[in-house]
Amino acid sequence: MVKAGAENLGDKSGSISLENVVSVNPDAIVLIHFGDNKKISDKDISKILTKNKALANVNAIKNNKIIITDLAETWAVGVRTVDAVERYSKELYPELFK
């Protein structure tokens, strides 16, 4: 994420809770979706976040800047990681890729 110009808020707080997200008010949220063989779709996860009233005033939620990614794109080193950096960059800074 740092390579794409983002900041990992989990590094500072150790964990991310709804309260942390609200207090930090990020411009974008990147959520790693793993471990359940996609029993819940990325679209459903996004909907859960956008419908949560506690998050209603968070910039990322208001501006629909929610990036949901697979663990393989973020954890392992390889081709997927390079693709992920490009994807995150395009989603975080679309104006740079016009």
pLDDT one-digit tens code per residue, 21-74: 898 898 998 888 776 666 778 888 899 999 999 999 999 999 999 998 887 777
Check residue 4 and give its pLDDT. Answer: 63
How far apart CA 38 and CA 21 sit, in angstroms, is: 24
**CA–CA distances in Å: residue 2 to residues 11, 43, 44, 63:** 11, 25, 26, 21
- Res. 5: pLDDT tops 70: no
How many angstroms separate the first and last alpha carbons of the chain?
21
- Residue 87 neighbours by CB under 8 Å, 6+ apart: 67, 69, 73
Its pTM stands at 0.77
